[in-house]
Amino acid sequence: MKIKVLCTGYPSCEQLERIVRKVAGDISRDIEVEKVDNLQKIMSYGVMMVPALVIDEKVVSAGGFLTIEDVKEIIEKNMGGKMAWIEGYPREKVEWFPTIDEDKCVGCGMCMNCGKKVYDWVDGKPKVARPYNCVVGCTTCANLCLGNAITFQDINSVRELYKKEGIWAKVKRALKEKGVIK
């Protein structure tokens, strides 16, 4: 995902850029944030009021003040269906995320390498903070956990969901459309 903050130097523009960078960083390392302050480029989006937000080349907000909560909601809404493994299916309906057995956790920190920023570090141990950022089917954190403290739901329930909702066919169709497979 690529987010552009369209702004011309007003304090509200600078504040929105800071908010977007913070929220994007909290949600995922895969979100790129760019500030656009060139007036011609801003106008090319048809925007007449700044600050404005553009996500993947689509204007999602223009003018007015956005709070941290507003920005989070906008980003998460625009992430829906973007996870390649579930193409078009709402991520929050897929029961796949880690749980930590506090008794087994030794605080090794391996899970903090998660590229989707699923975890926060609290009081010397990880906590699952953003469960639905977890990539469906990924178990890297559990595989590398020193204390063997991380578990996931049964993969067979996910496979049943994929079958029932036709997700495999949707993913394949999307991969063909993107030219990844023929």
CA distance 9 to 132: 35
Mapped onto helix, strand or coil, the DSSP state of residue 149 is coil
pLDDT of 84: 67
42-66 tens-digit pLDDT:
999 998 889 999 998 999 999 888 9
For the chain, the maximum distance between any two Cα atoms, rounded to a whole number of angstroms, is 57
CA distance 120 to 118: 7
Q: Which of 46, 121, 47, 130 is nearest to 16 (CA)?
A: 47
81: confidence class by pLDDT, cuts 50, 70, 90: very low
The arithmetic mean of pLDDT across residues 155-168, rounded, is: 94
CA distance 25 to 33: 9
Q: Work out the number of other CB atoms within 10 angstroms of the CB of residue 63.
A: 12
Q: Which of 27, 44, 123 is nearest to 83 (CA)?
A: 27
CA distance 40 to 29: 29
- In total, the chain counts a number of residues equal to 182
113-127 tens-digit pLDDT:
998 889 999 999 999
Domains of the chain and any CATH numbers: 2-79 (3.40.30.10), 86-177 (3.30.70.20)
Alpha helical stretches, state H, 50-154: 68-79, 140-144
For residue 180, report the phi and psi dihedrals to the nearest 5 degrees: -75, -40
Using CA atoms, how far residue 73 sits from 27, 60, 139, 165, in Å, is 11, 11, 27, 26
pLDDT of 82: 56
